[in-house]
C-alpha cells in the first residue's frame, strides 16, 4: 500500500514484518582478491558523492578559524533565526505528535472501511514537492483566499508570518509520527487494550498507561524524524515566509541569505551547526532501531 511506499527512511518500509522473524539466510564475509577492489570502488563512489560535500560543509565553516565559526552566533539576525526555528520545531513536534497518536490509535485499534485510503491521505505530504506544499498553504491562508481575508480582517496574519511557517512545516512533517506509531501499534494488536478496558480502565487510562508506554520507542523514533525535518525544512518555508529578517527568517532561510551575500564562512558555520543537529537526530534513530531490534535489515 502507499503507506509502505514513500517512507523517508526506507529500510523499514521495504522490509515486510515477517522477514524480521526469518532467520538470516545470507552471511557476509571478508572480500577476497578482486572483490577487495570492488569494495574499494564502492567506498570511493560513496566518499566522492556523499563524504566530500559533508566534509566541505565543515571545512568551510572553520575556514576562518574557530573565532570565525562562532562569529555568526553573535549576529542578532542569526540568533533570531535560531529562536524562530526552535519555536517552529517545538510547535510542529507537539502538533504532529498529538495528531500522530490519535491517527495511529484510530488506524490500529478500530475496524472501519477505507482504512487504506486514510493511510494514503496521511502519507500524501511525503510525495508533494516542498515548494508545492508551501504554495498550497499560501493559497489557502494567503490574503487572496477567503479564509486569509477573513483572518486578516480579524487581525490574524498567517501568510508571511510565523503561523504560516508553522502550518507549512506541520504539513511537510505531517505523516512521520503517525506512520511510525501506526506500524508499531498494528503489529501489537488489541489484546492489551481490551484487557485493560475489561478490568475497568477508562479509554484515557488505557492509552496513557498501557498503549503509549509500550510504544515509547516507536513514538520517540517518529518524533526525532519529525523534529529533524521540521528544523531543516527549506522549500515550503521559503514560499510562505516572505523572508522578513528578524521576523520570518528561519535557520535554513538565513543560511541562504548569508550565502547569497557571499558571507560564506557565516553561512557554512550556521549550516554545519544545523547539520550536526539533524545528523545527531538521525543517529539517535539508528540507535533506537538497533536497541529495539525492529529493523535487522542492515546488519
243 φψ region: left (φ > 0), alpha (ψ -120 to 50), beta (else):
left
**CB-wise, 27 or 74, nearer to another protein?**
27
Rounded Cα–Cα distance for residues 84 and 242 (Å): 14
**CB-wise, 13 or 86, nearer to another protein?**
13
Cα separations (Å) of 25 from 21, 22, 30, 230, 299? 12, 8, 17, 39, 12
- Cβ at position 131, least distance to another protein in Å: 4
**CB-wise, 83 or 143, nearer to another protein?**
143
Residue-level length of the chain: 299
- Cβ at position 192, least distance to another protein in Å: 11
**CB-wise, 157 or 235, nearer to another protein?**
235
Report yes or no: 107 and 118 within 8 Å, Cβ to Cβ: yes
**CB-wise, 71 or 275, nearer to another protein?**
275
- Cβ at position 25, least distance to another protein in Å: 5
Q: What are phi and psi of 286, to 5 degrees?
A: -60, -40
> Residue 223: which residues within 8 A CB-CB, separation 6 or more?
93, 97, 177
**CB-wise, 55 or 83, nearer to another protein?**
55
- Cβ at position 276, least distance to another protein in Å: 10
- Cβ at position 54, least distance to another protein in Å: 6
Report yes or no: 168 and 133 within 8 Å, Cβ to Cβ: yes
- Cβ at position 118, least distance to another protein in Å: 7
Amino acid at each position: 500500500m502507499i503507506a509502505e511506499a514513500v517512507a523517508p527512511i526506507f529500510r523499514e518500509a521495504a522490509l515486510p514484518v515477517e522477514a524480521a522473524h526469518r532467520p538470516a539466510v545470507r552471511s557476509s564475509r571478508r572480500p577476497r582478491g578482486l572483490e577487495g577492489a570492488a569494495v574499494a570502488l564502492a567506498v570511493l563512489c560513496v566518499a566522492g558523492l556523499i563524504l566530500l560535500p559533508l566534509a566541505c560543509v565543515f571545512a568551510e565553516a572553520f575556514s576562518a578559524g574557530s573565532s570565525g565559526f562562532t562569529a555568526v552566533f553573535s549576529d542578532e539576525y542569526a540568533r533570531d533565526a535560531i529562536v524562530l526555528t526552535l519555536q517552529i520545531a517545538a510547535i510542529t513536534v507537539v502538533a504532529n505528535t498529538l495528531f500522530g497518536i490519535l491517527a495511529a490509535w484510530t488506524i490500529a485499534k478500530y475496524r472501519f472501511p477505507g482504512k487504506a485510503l486514510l493511510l494514503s491521505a496521511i502519507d500524501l505530504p511525503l510525495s508533494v514537492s516542498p515548494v508545492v506544499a508551501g504554495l498550497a498553504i499560501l493559497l489557502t491562508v494567503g490574503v487572496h483566499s477567503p479564509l486569509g481575508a477573513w483572518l486578516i480582517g480579524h487581525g490574524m496574519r498567517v501568510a508571511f508570518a510565523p503561523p504560516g511557517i508553522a502550518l507549512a512545516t506541520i504539513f511537510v512533517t505531517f505523516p512521520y509520527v503517525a506512520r511510525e506509531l501506526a506500524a508499531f501499534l498494528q503489529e501489537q494488536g488489541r489484546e492489551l487494550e481490551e484487557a485493560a478496558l475489561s478490568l475497568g480502565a477508562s479509554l484515557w487510562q488505557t492509552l496513557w498507561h498501557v498503549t503509549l508506554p509500550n510504544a515509547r520507542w516507536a513514538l520517540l523514533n517518529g518524533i526525532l524524524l519529525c523534529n529533524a525535518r521540521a528544523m531543516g525544512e527549506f522549500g515550503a518555508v521559503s514560499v510562505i515566509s516572505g523572508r522578513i529578517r528578524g521576523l520570518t527568517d528561519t535557520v535554513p532561510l538565513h543560511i541562504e541569505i548569508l550565502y547569497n551575500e557571499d558571507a560564506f564562512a557565516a553561512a557554512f558555520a550556521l549550516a554545519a551547526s544545523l547539520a550536526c543537529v539533524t545528523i545527531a537526530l538521525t543517529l539517535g534513530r539508528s540507535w533506537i532501531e538497533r536497541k529495539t531490534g525492529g529493523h535487522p535489515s542492515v546488519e
